[in-house]
Structure 1
Amino acid sequence: MNCRVVVEAAVPVYDVETADEAVRIAISKTGEMLNPDLNYVEINMGERSCPHCGEELEPAFLAADESLVALELEITVFNVEREEHAARIARKEIGQRLENIPLEVLEIEQTDDGDDEDEDDNTSADDTGSESGGDESADEGSSGERGDGGSTDERGDDVLPEFEELIDES
């Protein structure tokens, strides 16, 4: 199953005078942090409303030339078993690049389109949200074969790369 996941991000922006300027800078700043690794993530202005009266508010809260901007980041996650799994993968992939920016999953929608075949290398459950370092494709399809000629074990292949990454980081 493929899922489209929408994540809300609270992006801080400094030295701005208007809400429109804050939104433009936040979108640009977020795009720079996500590219080139996640250039397929769509960035949109977030929607905010007054909790008391329901009135529509600007996506940016501005105070003392600083702003907190609500952005919605949309990513498609491939080959997941449950929606919760898709949400975890989306949060991890986006969160790794947007350090110190709070994220909240807003929406998860199942999409089983045949048109997404060209995006299968973006994010998949086979990769469990970990980076492959560019050496291997994140998903070579569901046949269970990797590009290096070895066969994948549905559970064993997912655990080993994460363990190796933890050792490299320490």
Structure 2
Amino acid sequence: MDCRVVVEAAVPVYDVSTADEAVRIAISKTGEMLNPDLNYVEISMGSRDCPHCDDELEPAFIAADEGLVALELEMTVFNVERDEHAARIARKEIGKRLKNIPLEVLEIEVLEEEDEEEAEAADEPTETEPDGGSGDEDDVLPEFEELIDE
């Protein structure tokens, strides 16, 4: 089973004056820590909600030119037994590279295995096409030969 895991990271940034600047620096800093080993991890702004008013807040909290930015890190984990197993693998792999940054698993989505089965079925030859080809190979070769003759 394959799973898509989204992990929230609280990334500290220093010497920032705006939330936008803090987010840009946090994404850059996180990308540097993850690359090149985990260049397949997608980094995006996280979202924060006000616990009292249900409003959405900016992903960065700034105080005294220092900030704490909520980022979402998304990766796909392959060949796991359960979704909890996928979460542990994602936290371990990301956590090894993001030292002293707290992580929390936000979402685990089991990816459809039907897509793989359909792809395998599409690769198998059908009764009308015993060679497994698409049937248009004969159409392509004469055009190619015509180009060579010119």
Interval containing the TM-score (normalised by the shorter chain): 0.7 to 0.9
CA 1:102/1:78 → structure 2, altered by over 3 Å: closer, same or farther? same
Cα deviations across residues 72-129 of structure 1 (Å, max 9, x unaligned)? 000000000100000000000000000000000000000135879xxxxxxxxxxxxx
Q: Distance in 1 between matches of 2:37 and 2:6?
A: 18
1:49 correspondence with 2:49: yes
CA RMSD of aligned residues (A): 1.3
Indicate the structure whose relative CO is greater, using CA pairs within 8 Å and at least 6 residues apart: 2
The corresponding residue for 2:133 is none
Cα deviations across residues 11-58 of structure 1 (Å, max 9, x unaligned)? 000000100000000000000000000000000000001001111100
Q: Distance in 2 between matches of 1:94 and 1:49?
A: 24
Cα deviations across residues 109-152 of structure 1 (Å, max 9, x unaligned)? 00135879xxxxxxxxxxxxxxxxxxxxxxxxxxxxxxxxxxxx
Larger radius of gyration: 2
* Larger helix fraction of residues: 2
Q: Distance in 2 between matches of 1:36 and 1:101?
A: 19
**Any stretches of 5+ residues in structure 2 without a counterpart?**
117-150
Amino acid paired to 2:75: I
The corresponding residue for 2:19 is 19
Task: Show the 5 A alignment for 1:21-100.
Answer: 21-100=21-100
Amino acid paired to 2:30: T
Aligned to 2:37, the other structure's residue is in SS state coil
The corresponding residue for 1:102 is 102
| TM-score of the superposed pair, with normalisation by structure 2 | 0.75
Identity within the alignment, %? 84
| TM-score of the superposed pair, with normalisation by structure 1 | 0.66
Aligned to 1:24, the other structure's residue is in SS state helix
Task: Show the 5 A alignment for 1:86-165.
Answer: 86-112=86-112
